Amino acid sequence: MANIRFTVNGKASNVDTEANRPLLEVLREDLGLTGTKYGCGEGQCGACTVLVDGRPTLSCITPARAVQDHKVVTIEGLARNGALHPVQQAFVDEGAVQCGYCTPGMILTAHALLEHNDTPTRQEIVEAISGNICRCTGYGQIVEAVEYAAERLRQTNLPRKPKGDRAIESAVDALSEAAPGGRR
């Protein structure tokens, strides 16, 4: 057994578990974060994608001990103040959700792409989501949703965040939360 301390969706978590247990199991079974999906369990489909320190990570093949002292974001961590994240909203608006099984992983992968590239080409989007399989084959709408999300994010009034500057990113988040009406 091992005691794993990490941050999930901005909250400190402390879990006693077998060190080699997949992060996916800890998230779903111990923390109740069932938005992260089990697909293949072999690192082949992307359904289990979460963000670890902002990077898309396959939680089915990531041992829980690997995220000790790291920051994990699951699909449950994107919405703010009851409002969907712009990437989530774009998937809804563009009809990019069919059965929805791939959707959490797709959205987190797209979110990570747009954090570093706010004007991705269609080819860059396709490459970014190439590890996420949609068994409903809704790729056309998914790519369009990511393009739409990029456009919406560019139009936001929030200042763009410099690459990799987490201190400034946190400050922008804090200012947004503190503003009258909170973040939209």
Shortest approach of ligand FES to residue 59 CB, angstroms?
Answer: 7
Which of 26, 67, 129, 134 lies at the binding interface for ligand FES (CB under 6 A)? 134
Taking CB under 6 A as the rule, which mask of x and - marks residues 26-65 in contact with ligand FES? ------------xxxx-xxxxxx---------x-x-----
Q: How many helices (H) and strands (E) does the chain have?
A: 6, 5
Q: Write the CB contacts of 94 (distance below 8 Å, at least 6 apart in sequence).
A: 141, 144, 145, 148
Interatomic CA distance for residues 128 and 172, integer angstroms: 26
Shortest approach of ligand FES to residue 63 CB, angstroms?
Answer: 13
Q: Does residue 78 touch ligand FES according to CB under 6 A?
A: no
Interatomic CA distance for residues 180 and 159, integer angstroms: 17
Which of 8, 21, 74, 101 lies at the binding interface for ligand FES (CB under 6 A)? 101
Q: Are 158 and 172 in contact (CB under 8 A)?
A: yes
Interface contacts to ligand FES, rule CB under 6 A: 38-41, 43-48, 58, 60, 97-103, 134-136, 138
